[in-house]
Amino acid sequence: MFCRTIGHKNDDYNAFLEINEGSAHERAEAIDKKIENGEKVGKLAGLVIGIKSNINVEDFHITAASKTLENYLGSYDATVVKRIKQEDGIIIGMTNMDEFAAGSSTETSYFGHTENPAAPGRIPGGSSGGSAVAVAAEMCDLSIGSDTGGSIRNPASHCGVVGFKPTYGVVSRQGLLDLAMSFDQIGPFSRDVSGAALLMDVIGGYDETECTSVKWDSPKFTDQLGQNSLEGTSLGVVKQFFDVSDDKIVNIVEESIDKMKDMGAEVHELSFDYIDLCLPTYYLINYVEFFSATRKYDGRKYGERIEEVCGEEVLRRIYMGSYISQKEFSGKYYKKALQARSLIKREVNKLLQNVDVIVGPTVPMLPHKIGTSLEPMDMYSYDVLTVIANLAGIPAGSMKAGEVNGIPVGIQIQGKPFEDSKILGIMSALD
């Protein structure tokens, strides 16, 4: 029954590229049996979960929404998927996305765009648009996305749901198809903050099979939920994050900040002089790392040769990455970008020294109408406020702050490395 509803909704939204009703039913029955027999069930028992199509799930098609991997069937479970299954989560299918996660609109999928149920006719954001919509349209309870420069927080903002990008290294990337591996993080989507925190409790934590996974004494991500006061919490408000944003978005986010003040939070004005450096730095590094990650799609092991079948944006990144990676240019571009990244990281950490979190808009613009033709730089400018957390490796969440003419607007909360549960706690106060 539930699956039939998902199928119908998917005809309207194209949030899923693959739905496996059969295996979901089997899992649900197995969990029911456990309950009947009085056996202990996992933290996600009975919850239906969608997975972005760039994360390996055994026996599902892991296409990254590209023709390149059209027939590629997952032969193993990524660490996050293993953990979800261990906790009795029911994986219902694979969600739509921008091709290879390179985008902010979910319009570049080889399998067609995804519709935004919260703002009909407009993009759902991206690249994890399918995962955001799956949750927003109640096609599943929770979903998983990946965030390299905003791909969880951006669609969460445009679809009016919760999205969370953990501190780099807190969630294992094992089994994720890289976009830019030094930025990529897997994270949750949900309709309320407690759902995201619950999923973090399951997928977070050290993974010895993955080299960027961090060994730390991870708290429970659900520990600080349910706050109804923000007494003693200091919020940083960065002037430049508001200067670059649409006035209507600024108004909505300011209302949320006022609400937080009413709950006892203190506000500190901050200034970040490097905002213009963030997009060029992010995209240069993204191009180089993506170029290197795509060399394995040469047509021998994984079907098609990527350059022959991919879309325009993926091709742009491959060509640019190959150009920048040439020895004679590395000092001119890549090394400079790495230096700029260190500078940005240092400055962001300085900003966070005297406050608990930084609050501001998630995305500076409202989502455009599907099919509007945008120049690459205009598409990239959606990301100016989200790439900062990836450049600095810090945790950041987005949740709905309000609406402009019915279109959802998100507020972003960014915090110090490894203070993921503090952010989730503060978000829960606003929920």
**Which positions are catalytic?**
52, 127, 151
Q: In whole angstroms, how close is the CB of 103 to ligand GLN at the nearest point?
A: 5
> Look-up: residue for tokens 């897997």?
186
Decide whether 218 or 381 has the Cβ nearer to ligand GLN: 381
Q: In whole angstroms, how close is the CB of 108 to ligand GLN at the nearest point?
A: 9
Q: What angle do CA 363, 313, 380 make, to 5 degrees?
A: 25
Q: Is 394 in the site for ligand GLN (CB under 6 A)?
A: no
Instruction: Tell which one of 68, 148, 167, 227 touches ligand GLN (CB under 6 A).
Output: 148
Q: In what order do the strands lie in the sheet with 48-52?
A: 16-19, 90-95, 48-52, 142-147, 185-190, 162-165, 396-404, 407-415, 357-361, 234-238, 266-270
φ, ψ at 42 (rounded to 5°)? -75, 175
Q: In whole angstroms, how close is the CB of 126 to ligand GLN at the nearest point?
A: 7
Decide whether 130 or 236 has the Cβ nearer to ligand GLN: 130
| Residues 415 and 425: beta-carbon distance below 8 Å | no
**CB-based burial of residue 22 (10 Å sphere; 0-12 exposed, 13-18 middle, 19+ buried)?**
exposed
3-state secondary structure of 278: helix
Q: Is 260 in the site for ligand GLN (CB under 6 A)?
A: no
Span interacting with ligand GLN, options 35-43, 96-104, 201-209, 395-403, rule CB under 6 A: 96-104
| Residues 87 and 202: beta-carbon distance below 8 Å | yes
Residue nearest to ligand GLN (CB): 151
Instruction: Tell which one of 207, 383, 419, 420 touches ligand GLN (CB under 6 A).
Output: 383
Q: Is 188 in the site for ligand GLN (CB under 6 A)?
A: no
**Cα 104 from Cα 91, distance rounded (Å):** 25
Q: Is 175 in the site for ligand GLN (CB under 6 A)?
A: no
Decide whether 285 or 413 has the Cβ nearer to ligand GLN: 285
Q: In whole angstroms, how close is the CB of 128 to ligand GLN at the nearest point?
A: 7
Q: In whole angstroms, how close is the CB of 189 to ligand GLN at the nearest point?
A: 13
Instruction: Tell which one of 107, 141, 147, 356 touches ligand GLN (CB under 6 A).
Output: 147
In angstroms, the first-to-last Cα distance of the chain is 30
Q: In whole angstroms, how close is the CB of 154 to ligand GLN at the nearest point?
A: 7
Number of residues in contact with ligand GLN under rule CB under 6 A: 14
Task: For residue 252, give the H/E element and its range.
Answer: helix 247-262
Span interacting with ligand GLN, options 73-81, 143-151, 191-199, 250-258, rule CB under 6 A: 143-151
Q: Which of 353, 409, 385 lies closest to 279, judged by CA?
A: 385
Q: Is 127 in the site for ligand GLN (CB under 6 A)?
A: yes
Helix locations, 263-333, DSSP H? 275-294, 306-309, 312-324, 327-330
β-bridge pairing 407-415 and 396-404: antiparallel
Q: Is 99 in the site for ligand GLN (CB under 6 A)?
A: no
Q: Residue 68 is encoded by which pair of tokens?
A: 């390149």
Instruction: Tell which one of 101, 170, 235, 355 touches ligand GLN (CB under 6 A).
Output: 101
Instruction: Tell which one of 117, 125, 150, 187 touches ligand GLN (CB under 6 A).
Output: 150
Q: Is 10 in the site for ligand GLN (CB under 6 A)?
A: no
**Sequence-distant contacts of 29-35: CB under 8 A, at least 24 apart:** 31/88, 31/90, 34/88
Instruction: Tell which one of 56, 151, 362, 428 touches ligand GLN (CB under 6 A).
Output: 151
Decide whether 141 or 383 has the Cβ nearer to ligand GLN: 383
Residue spans of beta strands (DSSP E) within 82-177: 90-95, 142-147, 162-165
Binding site for ligand GLN (CB under 6 A): 101-104, 127, 146-151, 179, 286, 383
